[in-house]
Structures are given as structure tokens and as C-alpha cells.
Amino acid sequence: MDNMNIERYGYTEFYKNQIEGFNIEDKDLIPARIIEVHRNQYTIVTKFGESSAKLKGSLFYNDEQDIIYPSIGDFVLVKHNDQGESIIYKVFERKSKFSRMDSFYEKEQVVATNFDYVFIITSLNKDFNVKRIERYITASFESGGMPILILTKSDLCSDCSDYETKLEKIAIGIPILTVSSITGDGLFELQNYIKPSETIVFLGSSGVGKSSLVNAIAGEEIMKVNHIREDDSKGRHTTTHRQLIMLKNGSMIIDTPGMRELAMWDVSDGLNVAFDDIKELESECKFSNCTHKSEPGCKVKSALESGDLSIKRWENYIKLKKKISFPNGKKVLKTEVNLKRNIKITTNN
């Protein structure tokens, strides 16, 4: 069986090795990747090319609670149908995924899977927001993808260094690239992360230039671009459904309207990585159950008083930690405190 076509879409040994563990008797099933999602309808790609697909009803629509439904980027086992819709039987284990909280059902909603890089995109205008970027970094580390920070619209900014300096303080070890889709500045450096058979997912608010950046990377207009309101840097959603786009060079981009506001599901591991400086301070406190309030030998309080740890970064860490513990917002953590009330900040004039 020639799987060369599906291998172009990232079908690696990680997925091939899962076949034997599925224990499915039907030997006619073949691997496919989900490249578009429209409600309960899917567009897939297999060794036969693109086709539409639907779920196997008896396997997905039953009373079992642990069923994994396909999302954009997933690899699945399907029964190919030359004359109509193919049938999806099984979802492969994912190597990476983005989830958000479905506030209505209060459960996890997977919005993108099986990507290699996370392009966290913010523009050099009023959209720039350090707290939002910290949240995206946390979610990116949790997802399993490699975060890359991209500052767009550099052609509209006279001095980008101030923005870069702010990000360097919160994005230790993460590449920071400044680009312009208009002039082409920075696009050459971006090519290091745009590789054949690898997948990129975009994170960022509407109006930051995601569609323009996709077109600049692709070298052709493959996404519609909406203009923003320059007075407040707000834009409209360009993407109306979830899709995986194959570029000419063989790399892929996942674009989904659900990635604008990422109400976090469970990103506890990602939080530890994104705020590893704070986690290290907490581990050095004299007491293991330190509340960072009034205990002697508290390294967090000491760092805040000396300015080694900024109050804004600490407050954002606490805010994200609360969202992880109670994502529906109905409760608050009594053990966490606002250290503004408990420390004395000194400045040198």
C-alpha cells in the first residue's frame, strides 16, 4: 500500500505504530487526515486524495463517555468510498492538541491537533498585550507544540525594540521574530519553522495580520484579508470554519476561528514551564506549604520586594492558576493572595 500522499501530510511512525493496537477487524481501513471540519461533516485526505467523510454512527453515537471525536489536524482510520462519503472509524492518539473550555457543557473542547509549531501572533499596535501573550505561551507549552512569538506589522512601527524587550522578560528561550507581510522583513528567518510535512497552528486576536502572514508565507493569496479599524486595532474574523492548509513547500497551517479567545482547559504543566522562574522561587521557600503572604524565608515575597519578580507577572501567574483550578469562574482560590497588600515596594529615585 502506497501511503506517500498521506505521509506528505505528516503521517509519521508515531501514527503508523498505533495501527496494531486498534484491534479493528476490518482490514480495508486506511489512514487519513482531517483537513476541514464543518459541524459533523469532515474533509479528509488519504492516498486517494481529498474526499468528504462522516462518523461511523455505531462507534461514535452511543452511551460511552470516553469517545474521542475527530478535530482539525487529527489522523483517523477510514473506509474509503469512491462513490460518496468515506466513513471514519477511529481517531489516532495525538502528539499535540489545543483544548478550550466549553462553557455551556463545562467540558473539554479540542480545537486543533497534531501540530509542530505554535505561532503566537501579535501586532505592533494597540493589540499588543503582555498578559494575553503569557496566557498563549502557557497554553502552547501545555499543547505539546513549540511556541514561536511573531510580532507583525513592523512596517507600521518606528521602534520595535521596546516590544521585543518586554517579551524577552516573559518568553525565556522562545524565539521572537519581527515581521512585515507588506515589506517582507523577517520572513526569511521565519522559514526556519516552515518545513515540509510539518504543521503550524496560529494563535492571536483578529486584526493582528494572521491572514496576511499566511499569504506572505505561501507566496500567494490563499486567505481573505479583512482590514482593521485603525483607531482601536480591532479586526473581524476572517476564518469561518476550521481548516488545514497545505502550502506549496509542503508545510501546513491550521486556521480555526476557535483560537481567538482560548478559555483554558487544563494547562497546569504548561503553566509550570511558562512560569518556571516563579516555580523555582516557590521551591526555595523555607516552608513547603508557603502561602507567600507573611511566612519567614519566603523567596517569592523577597523577589517581589527587590523587583527581581514583577508584580504584574506574579498577578498574571495567580490569575492563570485560578482559571486552571476553576475554569468556569464560579469559585476563587482562598489560598492565593494579592501580594500588593502584603509587600512594601521601594524604588530608587
- Do 126 and 251 have their domain in common? yes
Closest CA to 186 of 158, 153, 163: 153
Burial class (CB in 10 A: 0-12, 13-18, 19+), 133: buried
Res 3: pLDDT? 54
Residue 270 falls inside a structural domain: no
- Do 204 and 295 have their domain in common? no
Q: What is the pLDDT of residues 218-250, one digit of tens each?
A: 888 887 775 544 444 454 444 456 789 999 989
Quick check: 70 pLDDT over 80? yes
DSSP 55-74: E-HHHHSSS-S-PPPP-TT-
Buried b (16+ CB within 10 A) or exposed e, 220-252: eeebebeebeeeebebeebbeebbbbbbeeebb
Res 52: pLDDT? 96
The domain of 293 spans: 275-341
Q: Among all chains, which residue has been given the C-alpha cell 529615585?
A: 349
Res 316: pLDDT? 72
Quick check: 130 and 166 in contact, CB under 8 A? yes
Q: What is the pLDDT of residues 13-66, one digit of tens each?
A: 999 999 888 877 777 899 999 999 987 899 999 999 999 999 998 888 877 777
Quick check: 337 pLDDT over 50? no
Res 339: pLDDT? 39
Look at residue 49 and give its three-state secondary structure.
strand
Res 76: pLDDT? 96
- Do 166 and 195 have their domain in common? yes
Single out the residue in 63, 93, 123 at which a domain terminates: 93
Quick check: 187 and 232 in contact, CB under 8 A? no
Higher pLDDT, 1 or 276: 276
Single out the residue in 228, 259, 290 at which a domain terminates: 259
Contacts within 8 Å (CB) and 24+ apart, 286-295 = 291/335, 291/337, 292/337, 292/339, 293/337, 293/339, 293/342, 294/342
Higher pLDDT, 309 or 239: 309
Number of domains the chain contains: 3
Quick check: 325 pLDDT over 70? no
- Do 59 and 122 have their domain in common? no
Q: CA-CA distance, 85 to 102, in Å (whole number)?
A: 29
Q: What is the pLDDT of residues 134-166, one digit of tens each?
A: 888 888 888 889 999 999 888 888 888 888 888
Res 138: pLDDT? 84
User: Where do the DSSP E strands lie in 114-261?
Assistant: 117-123, 146-152, 176-178, 199-203, 242-246, 252-255
Sign of the C-alpha dihedral computed for residues 259, 188, 12 and 141 taken in this order:
negative
Single out the residue in 39, 61, 93 at which a domain terminates: 93
User: What's the mean pLDDT when you consider all of the chain?
Assistant: 79
Quick check: 253 pLDDT over 70? yes
CATH code: domain of residue 22? 2.40.50.140
- Do 122 and 208 have their domain in common? yes
Q: Nine-digit cell at 320?
A: 492563570
Sign of the C-alpha dihedral computed for residues 340, 343, 344 and 349 taken in this order:
negative
Residue 99 falls inside a structural domain: no
Quick check: 342 pLDDT over 60? no
Higher pLDDT, 272 or 61: 61
Q: CA-CA distance, 266 to 280, in Å (whole number)?
A: 21
- Do 187 and 47 have their domain in common? no
Q: What is the pLDDT of residues 285-295, one digit of tens each?
A: 877 788 887 78
Q: CA-CA distance, 203 to 136, in Å (whole number)?
A: 7
Type of residue found at 310: S
Res 31: pLDDT? 95
Residue 101 falls inside a structural domain: no
Res 241: pLDDT? 62
- Do 140 and 217 have their domain in common? yes
Q: CA-CA distance, 9 to 45, in Å (whole number)?
A: 8
How is residue 22 annotated by DSSP?
Answer: G
DSSP 74-128: -EEEEE--SSS-EEEEEEPPPS-EEEEEETTTTEEEEEEES-SEEEEEEESSTT-
- Do 83 and 153 have their domain in common? no
Res 323: pLDDT? 57
CATH code: domain of residue 191? 3.40.50.300
Q: Label the pairing between strands 107-113 and 117-123.
A: unpaired
Quickly count: other Cβ atoms within 10 Å of residue 160's Cβ.
Answer: 16
Query: Averaged over 109-134, what is the pLDDT?
Result: 87
- Do 336 and 247 have their domain in common? no
